Amino acid sequence: MKSYRLGYCLWLLSGKTLPERIDFLYGLGFRSVAKLQSTGSEKSAEAREAAQVIRERGMTMTCHTNVQANLKDGRMDPDFARRALDDDLWWHEATGGAVRSCCSDLVVRHDPRTVLMEDTIQLAGMQREILGGRGILTGIENSPEEYALPEDFAAMAQHVSAVLWDAGHANIALNRLPQLQGLTMEEYLDAVPLPVAEVHITDNHGERDEHLAPLDGNLDFAALRRGLDKRPETPVVSLEYCKDIGNGLYDHDITIPAERDKVLRATDRLKALFA
């Protein structure tokens, strides 16, 4: 079986400073961290120190640059997208080339939910333009419904170099989409025609995005592992574990013993599944 580099989604941890949180994760055995979209990091002393920690520890980094929280007149704001991607580039340079991938969600407009596919393709082009020439994989994260079928990934292949495989989204798609029912997670991965840049590990019961700790839902992790082991690439495997997403609670505060213990328990399970 393959050996995977384990990562953690930094936006789901709080408490102490960012460099201290990264050192906390390093001490748990994580060798990669995932960053949510940001701008102006070069102006932040904390970000500069965090980048130095990543560089000194020999860690890698993945970037998750979403733009839908900053739409302008209901469409993607290209100026914000460029600032966010330039920020990813700053992290790559400040960490000594640690960034391995930069992937995003579909660009969507909420209430009612509308997928902005033209904007998504534009964002993918900007990712490729700013980051692709540096060996950084760029792509779009699979969704539970709108970007979930093998033909969807094949159509996106002309715009991206990889896919961010959200295991929780895949579990929902397998349970809810008629075109996929009857497939195992292994078979689903077999049908993906793009390299997998990163895997977000989060569990659920196949109906909605619960962001549970591994093994607290019904996701078939054995089939996920088999599917990943067969692929030619070896993606970073990043834990994306929320405190209580159903009640709008996302990050675990590592200064609170009970919350830190939950992170430790989820980490132990991740290691048992992928280390």
**For the segment 188-225, what is each residue's pLDDT rounded down to a tens digit?**
999 999 999 999 999 999 999 999 999 999 999 999 99
What average pLDDT score do residues 72-96 get?
97
* Percent residues over pLDDT 90 in the chain: 98
How would you class 65 by CB atoms within 10 Å of its CB: exposed for 0-12, middle for 13-18, buried for 19 or more?
Answer: buried
Whether the pLDDT of residue 275 is over 90: the answer is: no
Please check the confidence at residue 111 and state whether its pLDDT lies above 90. Answer: no
User: Three-state SS for 199?
Assistant: strand
Q: Are 127 and 65 in contact (CB under 8 A)?
A: yes
* Model confidence at 110: pLDDT above 90: no
For 146, phi then psi, to 5°, come to -75, -25
Pairing verdict, β 252-253 and 13-14: parallel
Domains of the chain: 6-274 (3.20.20.150)
Residue 104 pairs in a beta bridge with: 140
* Residue pLDDT, tens place only, 238-266: 999 999 999 999 999 999 999 999 999 99
- Which pLDDT band holds residue 185 (cuts at 50, 70, 90)? very high
CB 103 within 8 A of CB 139: yes
List pLDDT tens digits, range 63-74: 999 999 999 999
- Cα–Cα separations (whole angstroms), residue 89 to 10, 190, 213, 216: 18, 32, 31, 36
Q: How far apart are CA 232 and CA 126, in angstroms?
A: 27
Global pTM exceeds 0.95: yes
